[in-house]
Structure 1
Amino acid sequence: MSVEDQHDGADHLLDEADVGMLAALGRLVDGADPVPHDLVERSILAMSLALMDAELMAIVAEGEPVGVVRADTAASASTVTFTSALVSVMVDISEVGGRVRLDGWVAPASVCRVELRRADGQVWATESDLDGRFVLEGVPHGLVGLVLLGAAGDAPRLTTPVLEI
């Protein structure tokens, strides 16, 4: 006999034992595999970048964070490289004074608009120079995606996967 055959059509309410078991099961699942605290923020940013009709670049290399001390100010840096069929971007991410600085290089070298988009809707923008170099300074920590406009001639928009800086 299937479950449908056993159902009499009446709406059955949960009793206290059912509610207690479901609550205990919920606590067990939350403890074993909690929902990431930034899941909603990551999802919103990923969807907003995807809706831009942009080609997604792939992460091809990620450097280990390096700790640096300069004049009593602790800083750290790491390097990430993204690539697509048309262009590659290497970004050096460094932290100084609680903010983030991104030094980037577009290859092949070209002038293009570079936007850093945060999950909260803030956008930092700059333009790469003739050598493909760009800098974004004073960015708060959080989830971001880079968008390149006009890289490699009349190329489509290019965007990186979401990353945390």
Structure 2
Amino acid sequence: MARRRRRRRGQGAGKRTSDDGAAAKRRQERLINAKIYQFFFDALDAAADDLARRKRAVDQVLAASHPEATVFEDYSCSLRQTSRGQNPKFYVMQVIENKTAYLFFFRWGRVGEEGKWKIEEKDTADDAIEAFEKMFRVKTRNDWEDKDDFKTFPSRYAVFEES
């Protein structure tokens, strides 16, 4: 005959409650740790995005007149053209994000000089990008999307650096 075990009041029941309390405390600590880690990684992602956005420097000429301006995404490059017997020419192009608008900035001239520059204010980022890509195509005979497979052509600018 099987014997039934009887629990005495206060024995075992209290222990189980403290175990359940310890397990609940561990679950709560894990949840808090997960939230802390999530907050930490979100902050790291935001910092990395901010660093990538600030990585490309605004041209020195533009930075003097628009100190709050930042380069929009990766739309920034310096082009060079070299001909025999002449000083090389440069052409700098950038899409700029300003507080109030988007700008298409470009500067050109001979290497060693400040050169001339122009700013075109655009209503949207797409308009500024379109102007940038069109000018890039005119100057280099390459599409901006194909900049990684860049081909040089005679009497055309070549990418000097993505600034």
Relative contact order (alpha carbons < 8 A, sep ≥ 6): 1 or 2 greater?
A: 1
Q: TM-score, normalised by structure 2?
A: 0.32
Give the number of the structure whose residues are more often strand, by fraction: 1
